[in-house]
Amino acid sequence: MQTPGSPQAKRHEPKGVKLHSLLLLLTGQRRHCRVEGESMRPTLASGDFVIFKPLTNASRGKSLQEGCIVVANHPLLPKKLMVKRVHKIGFKGVELRGDNLDSSTDSRQFGLVSSESIKGVVEFIVTLSKKEKS
């Protein structure tokens, strides 16, 4: 199942995460982080995990597309990562937004982010809760 607006991200229940995805994660070819907060609802809920493909300078231009979900350094909290959707890509930077605009701190508050601050593109969403997302 594909996540709307993000052709790369696929949602899986914990049992459905494919073995090769886990191997990529264990061998360091993929990374993961836990979602906190409501800024990406309904696509992501607090407690979900995202598995993302780290970006390199060579892959950045090919992998980074408008509409994809990314993991990036938070520009206001340097030691914190954030999960947002790429809204626009421009010459001066990347505009990131949460799907839940009323609960998101994003480029509308902190401005454009450099493409170098984007750590990776989300490929899989692991939902641990059985609760229906609204």
**Whether pLDDT at 4 is above 50:** no
Task: Indicate the SS3 state at residue 108.
Answer: helix
pLDDT at position 126, please?
86
What's the chain's average pLDDT?
84
Please give the average per-residue pLDDT across 62-87, as a whole number.
94
2-126 belongs to CATH 2.10.109.10:
yes
Say how far apart CA 93 and CA 100 lie, in whole Å. Answer: 22
Q: Where is 19: in which H helix or E strand?
A: helix 19-26
C-alpha atoms less than 13 angstroms from C-alpha of 26 in its C-beta half-sphere? 6
pTM of the model: 0.81
Of 47, 125, 34, 12, nearest in space to 82 by CA? 34
Question: What are the backbone angles phi and psi of residue 76, rounded to the nearest 5°?
Answer: -95, -20
Q: 32 with 107: CB under 8 angstroms?
A: no
**Whether pLDDT at 132 is above 70:** no
Q: Is the backbone of residue 28 left (phi > 0), alpha (psi -120 to 50) or beta?
A: left
